Amino acid sequence: MSLKNCTRNGCKDVFRAFLVKDAEYAGEWEIPCVAPENAAPERLIPFSKSIRHSDPCAWVHFFEDDASIERLWNRPRVYLPVLKRYAGVISPDYSLYRDMPLVMQANNVYRGRALSHWLQKNGVRVIPNIRFGDERTYGFCCAGIERGGTIAIGSHGCIKGREDRRYFKQGLSAVMDILCPQRLIVYGSAPDDIFSVYRERGIPILQFDSEFSVYHQRAVSA
């Protein structure tokens, strides 16, 4: 369904409606659609570091605290020139905590997709990131993403505890069944007990260590 924006004189766009101008919606939650992107990044850089650096071969990721990436939502036009210095971005990764009200989880998916749509409209390549919670989120966490493309997920901080690991494994299985991606990008560890089934299916998995892991490895070897 196409979105028809209207401008109301004297009204401030507090809903960031400009982000979804001309967007298509998907699913009952009406999540903005994102065009597929089949790139295979060579390296990643976090959004917080990308602001002061420039690397035309790197892709910007948002696997950081929500507070660190909220400024992109608040002032996307300010950061557009920054993101254009890079090869592309992995779409914003807003949290979906299982104890958050479901409507807030859906809204965080919406915000990531809305920004992704707007960035693509402005010439930025975007690899869609899929963030999921429990089974209640499966109906909207993949909405707006085409099957058979490249997707990214973040495992960092999601598979340490037994219960978290179980939810992650279950959610990833649902995502893979829904989207059938041709390539999977993983930010964080990709242990065999979770990912070997997808490797056996012949799905290429590009794994990138988290910033925390890289820092810890350097500290240990110092």
**Count of the separate structural domains present in the chain:** 1
pLDDT of residue 13: 86
Q: Is residue 12 part of a domain?
A: no
Q: Is residue 9 part of a domain?
A: no
Q: Which domain holds residue 202?
A: 17-221
Q: Is residue 6 part of a domain?
A: no
Q: Are 94 and 111 in contact (CB under 8 A)?
A: yes
Q: Is residue 135 part of a domain?
A: yes
What's the pLDDT tens digit per position in 102-144?
Answer: 999 999 999 999 999 999 999 999 999 999 999 999 999 999 9
Strand order in the sheet with 183-187: 150-154, 183-187, 205-208
What's the pLDDT tens digit per position in 52-93?
Answer: 998 999 999 999 999 999 999 999 999 999 999 999 999 999
Q: Is residue 111 part of a domain?
A: yes
Average pLDDT over residues 45-54: 94
Q: Is residue 55 part of a domain?
A: yes
Q: At residue 25, what is the residue type?
A: Y
Q: How far apart are CA 3 and CA 113, in angstroms?
A: 14
The total number of residues shown for the chain amounts to 222
* Strand 31-32 to 25-26 pairing: antiparallel
Q: Is residue 118 part of a domain?
A: yes
What's the pLDDT tens digit per position in 154-192?
Answer: 999 889 999 999 999 999 999 999 999 999 999 999 999
Task: Write out the E strands in the chain.
Answer: 25-26, 31-32, 43-46, 58-61, 88-90, 126-127, 150-154, 183-187, 205-208
How much is the mean pLDDT over the chain?
Answer: 92
